[in-house]
Amino acid sequence: MQRPDSRPVEGARELDELVLKVGRSRDREAFISLYKHFAPRVKAYLLRLGADDATAEEATQETMLSLWRRADSFDPSQAGAGTWVFTIARNRRIDLIRRERRPEADESAAENIPDPAEPADQAIAAAERDKRVRVALEVLPREQAALIEMAYYQDLTQTAIAAKTGLPLGTVKSRFRLAFARLRRALEGDPS
Amino acid sequence: MKRHHPSPEVLMSYAAGSLPEAPSLLVATHLAICPECRVRAGELDALGGAMLENLSPTKMEADAFDRVMARLDEPEPPRAPPPPADPVLPAPLRAYVGRGFDAIAWKKLGRGVEEYRLPIPDADSYMTRLLRVADDREIPTHGHDGDELTLVLAGGFRDGEDSYVRGDVASADPTVSHSPVADKGGECICLVVTEGKLRFSGLFGPLLTYFRG
Q: How high does pLDDT run on average in chain A?
A: 86
pLDDT interval class at B180 (50, 70, 90): confident
**Cβ of A6 and B68 within 8 Å?**
no
Note whether A74 contacts B: Cβ–Cβ < 8 A. Answer: no
In tens, the pLDDT along A148-183 reads 888 899 888 888 899 999 999 899 999 999 999 999
Residue B3 confidence class, pLDDT cut points 50, 70, 90: very high
Q: Flag the least confident range among A38-42, A136-140, B111-115, B204-208.
A: B204-208
pLDDT value for A3: 43
Please state the ipTM of this predicted complex.
Answer: 0.88
- Mean pLDDT, chain B, whole residue set: 86
- Residue B207: the pLDDT is 46
Residue B107 and residue B184 in one domain: yes
Please determine, for residue A10, whether its predicted confidence score (pLDDT) is greater than 80. no
CA B93 to centroid of chain Cα atoms: 8
Check CB contact of B84 with chain A, cutoff 8 Å.
no
Which one has a higher pLDDT value, A106 or B167? B167
Percentage of chain B beyond pLDDT 90 is 61
Q: Looking at residue B184, which CATH number applies to its domain?
A: 2.60.120.10
Q: Which residue segment(s) compose the domain that B109 sits in? A: 98-212
Minimal Cβ distance to A86: which of B43, B52, B64:
B52
A10 touches chain B (CB under 8 A): no
pLDDT tens column, B186-203: 899 999 998 876 555 544
Last residue of a domain, one of B71, B90, B121: B71
The stretches of chain A forming alpha helices (DSSP H) are 10-25, 28-48, 53-70, 81-96, 126-138, 142-153, 158-165, 169-187
User: Is B67 in Cβ contact with A61 (below 8 Å)?
Assistant: yes
- Whether the CB-CB separation of B52 and A89 falls below 8 Å is answered with yes
Q: Nearest chain A Cα to B41, which residue?
A: A105
Nearest C-alpha in A relative to B19: A157
Q: Does domain A8-105 have CATH number 3.40.190.10?
A: no
Largest CA distance in chain A: 53
Residues B198, B147 within the same domain: yes
Residue A66 and residue B68 in contact, taking contact as beta carbons nearer than 8 Å? no
* Cβ–Cβ gap B47/A137 under 8 Å: yes
Sorted by where each begins, the domain ranges of chain A are 8-105, 122-192
Q: How many CB pairs under 8 A join A and B?
A: 212
Tell whether B7 is within 8 A of chain A (Cβ): yes
* Measured distance CA(A156)–CA(A167) in Å, rounded: 14
Contact residues on chain A for B7, CB-CB shorter than 8 A: 173, 177
**pLDDT(B121) > 80:** no
Give the residue from A57, A124, A134, A64 showing the smallest Cα distance to A97. A57
DSSP for residue A189? T
Number of domains observed in the structure of chain B: 2
- When comparing pLDDT for B135 and B146, which is higher? B135
Q: Which B residues in the span 177-206 are in contact with A, Cβ-Cβ below 8 Å?
A: none
pLDDT tens for each residue of A39-90: 999 999 999 999 999 999 999 999 999 999 999 999 998 899 999 999 999 9
Would the pTM of this model clear 0.80, i.e. be above it? yes
The answer to whether residues B175 and B128 belong to one domain is: yes
- How much of chain A exceeds pLDDT 90, in percent? 57
Q: Determine the angle formed by the axes of helices A53-70 and A28-48, rounding to 10 degrees.
A: 140
Residues of B in contact with A100 (CB under 8 A): 20-21, 121-122
Query: Residue A24 is which amino acid?
Result: R
pLDDT value, residue B119: 85
Residue A115 has a pLDDT of 63
- Domain containing residue B56: CATH number: 1.10.10.1320
CATH 1.10.10.10, domain A122-192, yes or no: yes
* pLDDT at residue B198, as a whole number: 55
Interchain pair B47, A173: CB under 8 A: no
Residue B108 lies in a domain: yes
Average pLDDT for residues B46-62, to the nearest whole number?
94
B115 shares its domain with B204 = yes
pLDDT band (50, 70, 90) for residue A117 = low
The pLDDT value recorded for residue A120 is 46
Query: How far away is chain B from the Cα of A191, in angstroms, using its nearest Cα?
Result: 15
CB contact under 8 A, B27 and A103: yes
Average pLDDT over residues B90-97: 92
CB pair distance less than 8 Å for A111 and B85: yes
